[in-house]
Structure 1
């Protein structure tokens, strides 16, 4: 990696975006390899060494194109941000100061910062979409080929809730018991589709038992870019609304009538090596991403190119348990 690339990476790291990272922030572990392929046994081995997953944990298999695989070669996430003709003319005219947001910067730095902001926003949106797909469906699509990586999550367990007869507390306790039986630990998150949450709030049995409700309005959270969604407290169990998300294809991910119990401590952001040309040599960089500035001659263009070998991994498929709840109205008297 040359000094110019390192300087661009420094700007990238310092750049603040307004991307909501609700699901991608759950992937707190990192794994990097210099290879173009991510081996799940190496990821699992590292998690075992860090005591994040139990000894004896087997590496996951994924399905790709109908075949089971113990490794994956993900598509590179790529982005470009080209200089406009006006920006090129401005740079040729020479360096000048620009007053932006109360600060004075030179016009060249301002243009570079703007291009890197574009690249980072696109990258973070892609990462969020991939992580949301994997968390909510157990699958995600590669960004270039569109191939689907299937981690083989168990199908959601079907639950029928009859209003006026069944009890939400017992539904939750039974679900938690099943989670503990599978994982030998309690879930850190209980999330439900908003319609399920509304049904819980309206439930007469909960009201009659004077369960304490804790609500937050749907307003921006001053401590983050995330928005707060309603929460419901039932017997010291906090139930949150599932935050809407879109997948890699830009389509909304359906969570209708779903409940998720999860523990995210083993979720991994993995990165492959990235091809990088230095002079006449082609090498591989062990890095989350690389940013380069290139000049093309036919047609003439100057642009920034961003590359990352990101891939989300959930090593323990039972760390997320899904339930599909069908609500039936109370029987007429």
Structure 2
């Protein structure tokens, strides 16, 4: 007999084995069926920025069982030629090469597609950033204004550089998958101070006036007002402390205003506000979503401490739970003599 036998099973790789003579009535064959594993990308193409005339390499790699034999590349939803080995080389780039790229593999286990990367090809210049910042208007606290345009304004354009990857004219890489230089971003180049005048005080904010491509630095200014409300009236969180990650990072003014500078790659931070000068407010946590490399304006409303309620613990008490003048959403009951002293006797 001595023939190769083919073994097939759903969701398993096909296997072959050579039959061996055992006796006049039996032949035996040993083989192993390996379970198919869908391909998974462990390298996906990265977002790239290039100037007209430069080159670029986009890369992807996948593994599975069976492993992929070739890669197909897709630009803006349409299959393109090249890159069968997982490396797509594009030279003499033009603006028409800009788009969204991904690669795809197909095995007997499954079809898989990598993450999508954006290739941006821009006009050759000193760098690929727009030096003019986008408009970014913020509302100043009540009673405050600027005179930037020669008239009082409670709304001011502080400017914002359009956050995004960029390169300078000295950067070029058309041979490797990974750019050797650090990540560069469009970020603030020049700023000017803006004086904000309020009823009894003044403070300064920064206005972005130009942008530049530079090594990414995620520095954000968080500024705003902290207050409570009582009968519709704002109560400032006077000279209170602001903590982040257990560290004191700032304080509010007498009018409840504050400004913090945050560095790092966090997309959001948690602020703890406590210890106001008049001890009128409860400790409050506030989660703030970060606007990278710019100003993040916020208002924080903190709850006022409620007045203590006196009652006779020997008689018990039922207390409504509600916010301000709202209808109680539940009640808390203290049975009679439920408060005890350290020796276990009823408190009175």
TM range, normalised to the smaller chain?
Answer: under 0.3
Please tell me whether Structure 1 or Structure 2 has the larger radius of gyration of its CA atoms. Answer: 2
Higher strand proportion: 2
Question: Larger RCO: Structure 1 or Structure 2 (Cα < 8 Å, ≥ 6 residues apart)?
Answer: 1
Higher helix proportion: 1
Query: TM-score, normalised to structure 1's length?
Result: 0.20
Query: TM-score, normalised to structure 2's length?
Result: 0.20
